[in-house]
A and B are shown apart, each in its own frame.
Chain A
Amino acid sequence: MSRKLKLQVQISVDGFIAGTNSEMDWITWNWSEDIKKYVSELTNSFDTILLGRKLAEGFIPYWKNVAEDKNHEEHKSGIIFTNTPKIVFTKTLEKSEWENSVLAKGDLKEEINKLKNQEGKDIIVYGGANFVSNLIKENLIDELHLFVNPAVIGKGLSIFHKLENKKELKLVHSQAFECEINLLHYSLK
């Protein structure tokens, strides 16, 4: 039984995870308690974070700052994201410049399958768009946890556009959060 790779991502009703220039102004950030609880449980289920290099450069320093700021409202999350082992996928970096982070430079499929076969809790990925679209294309993601925001944005960054054929999903669970975000939790067949 290998551990699972889970994707957690904000998505618009028309299927984009960010605007063309990475805009996020359409996302509902004023979270209700029920979605906070869901994310907190999901966060407890993994012990490894995968990041594309481009996202890593923003993500890792951002959460390190939050972890160092005791008054930040997301201080606890900052500590979790900073302390959790991270794997950064890159073709260009030579060595990791961040704490608790190692680089993966090999073939995507082999690197992921190697990680899945290790002992431990599950693995999570949050982005970025290009990295995740490669994971989806290679059929490496086991579960989607999509937070559907009440917005359509017309154009933007997609994570499904590299698929050659349609892919059927199995609905595991859905939930309407009070802040009007809908969870769609699917497993991939």
Chain B
Amino acid sequence: MKRKLKLQMQISVDGFVSTGTNDDQTWVTWALEDIFQDVWDLSNSADTILIGRKLAVDYIPFWQETFKNPNDPMFAFANQIVNARKIVFTKTLEKSIWENTEIAKGDLVDEVNNLKDQNGKDIVVYGGTSFVSSLVENNLIDEFYFYVNPVVLGKGETIFDKLKNPIKMTQVKSKEYNSGINLFIYKLKE
């Protein structure tokens, strides 16, 4: 039984995950108290985080900084993320400059399948856009956790633009939150 690769992302009703390079994410409904338990449960189901290099350079230092302050409301997440095994996918970095972080420089499909074959809890990926679109293109994501925000962006970045053919999915669960967010969980159709 292989472990699964799970994607969690914030998405707009029109399917965008970012407004572009300088996305300030003001389009996202930040109602953490609303979705906390579900985000926490997903994060707890995994022990390995995949990150594209572009996101990693901000993401890893951000959580290391948050982890220094036990009073930060995000401390529990910071603890989890800092201590998780992180794999940064890169063609340019020579070696990891962060704790608990490895570099993957090989073929994407081989590297991810190799990780899925290892023992442990599941694997999770949160971004960034370009890295995730490569995972989607290569059919490597087993479960999708989309937080659908009550907004349309009109334009922006998508993780599905590299798809050659439609993907039909099976719905695992859907859930509405008081803040107007909907969580849709899908898995690839077998």
A22 to B144, CA, bound (A): 26
A14 to B132, CA, bound (A): 14
A26 to B154, CA, bound (A): 22
Interface positions of B from 133 to 185, Cβ below 8 Å from A: 136, 144, 146, 148, 150-155, 158, 160-171, 174, 176, 180, 182, 184
Residues in A whose Cβ lies below 8 Å from that of B14: 15, 158, 160-161
Residues in A whose Cβ lies below 8 Å from that of B170: 150, 180
Interface positions of B from 37 to 81, Cβ below 8 Å from A: none
Bits for A170-183, please: 1 = Cβ < 8 Å to B, else 0. 11001010001010
Q: Which of B13, B27, B160 meets A154, CB within 8 Å?
A: B160
CB pair B166–A152 under 8 Å, yes or no, is yes
Q: Interface residue tally of chain A, by bracket?
A: 35 or more
Q: Which residue of A lies closest to B184 (CB)?
A: A182
CB pair B13–A15 under 8 Å, yes or no, is yes
Do A13 and B154 contact each other (CB < 8 Å), given the known contacts A152-B160, A154-B163, A166-B27? no
Interface positions of A from 133 to 186, Cβ below 8 Å from B: 144, 146, 148, 150-155, 158, 160-171, 174, 176, 180, 182, 184, 186
- Chain B CB within 10 Å, residue with most, of A15, A154, A182, A186: A154
Query: Smallest Cβ distance from B127 to chain A, in angstroms?
Result: 16
Residues in A whose Cβ lies below 8 Å from that of B154: 160-167
CB pair A170–B176 under 8 Å, yes or no, is no
Residues in A whose Cβ lies below 8 Å from that of B161: 154-155
A75 to B12, CA, bound (A): 37
Residues in A whose Cβ lies below 8 Å from that of B11: 13
A4 to B32, CA, bound (A): 33
Query: Smallest Cβ distance from B138 to chain A, in angstroms?
Result: 14
Residues in B whose Cβ lies below 8 Å from that of A158: 14
CB pair B184–A13 under 8 Å, yes or no, is yes
Residues in B whose Cβ lies below 8 Å from that of A25: 166
Q: Which residue of B lies closest to A148 (CB)?
A: B184
Residues in A whose Cβ lies below 8 Å from that of B128: none
CB pair B146–A170 under 8 Å, yes or no, is no
Q: Which residue of B lies closest to A151 (CB)?
A: B168
Do A166 and B151 contact each other (CB < 8 Å), given the known contacts A154-B163, A180-B170? yes
Do A169 and B169 contact each other (CB < 8 Å), given the known contacts A12-B15, A152-B160? no
CB pair A170–B16 under 8 Å, yes or no, is no
Residues in A whose Cβ lies below 8 Å from that of B148: 148, 184
* Shortest Cβ-Cβ A-B pairs, 3 listed: A15-B15, A154-B163, A163-B154
Provide a sorted-by-A list of 9 A–B residue pairs whose CB atoms are within 8 angstroms.
A13-B144, A154-B162, A158-B14, A160-B13, A160-B154, A161-B155, A162-B154, A167-B151, A171-B176
Given A152-B15, A152-B166, A184-B13, 13 additional A-B pairs, CB 8 A = A13-B169, A14-B158, A25-B166, A154-B162, A154-B163, A163-B152, A166-B154, A170-B150, A171-B180, A174-B174, A180-B170, A182-B182, A186-B13
